[in-house]
Amino acid sequence: NAGVTQTPKFQVLKTGQSMTLQCAQDMNHNSMYWYRQDPGMGLRLIYYSASEGTTDKGEVPNGYNVSRLNKREFSLRLESAAPSQTSVYFCASSRLLAGGLTDTQYFGPGTRLTVL
């Protein structure tokens, strides 16, 4: 199993450019998530998808859109990049733990994005 994979690993954009960050998981998980992490801070949730076909806003959704393409793939799009979106972006997926009442999240390696 590859787990959670993200592409690209690094990206530099100019202000106003657009791009899509790709995320895929091969663990048959229902839920997927996009977080951003700014230097010296914890992760903040951008969007999540509890199941295929559904998406919901997280803590910091402004400036982003998402698509849950199928059960495996969850993409994050920046329509018009701004310097404030310079960050490390992590994708995650989750599986239920024993008992079925809570779950654990598995994270990808991250995409390091710089917006000039």
Partner 1 sequence: DAKTTQPNSMESNEEEPVHLPCNHSTISGTDYIHWYRQLPSQGPEYVIHGLTSNVNNRMASLAIAEDRKSSTLILHRATLRDAAVYYCILKETSGSRLTFGEGTQLTVNP
Q: Closest Cα to residue 8, out of 28, 23, 25?
A: 23
Q: How far is the CB of 107 from partner 1 (least distance, A)?
A: 3
Q: Is 108 in the site for partner 1 (CB under 8 A)?
A: yes
Q: Which is nearer to partner 1, 17 or 106 (CB)?
A: 106
Q: Which is nearer to partner 1, 44 or 77 (CB)?
A: 44
**Calpha distance 83→91 (Å, rounded):** 21
- Can you list the pairs that 43-48 forms with residues at least 24 positions away whose Cβ atoms lie under 8 Å? 43/90, 46/76, 46/89, 47/76
**Where on the chain is the footprint of partner 1 (CB under 8 A)?**
4, 30-31, 33, 35, 40-45, 48, 50-51, 58-59, 90, 92, 94, 96-97, 100-110
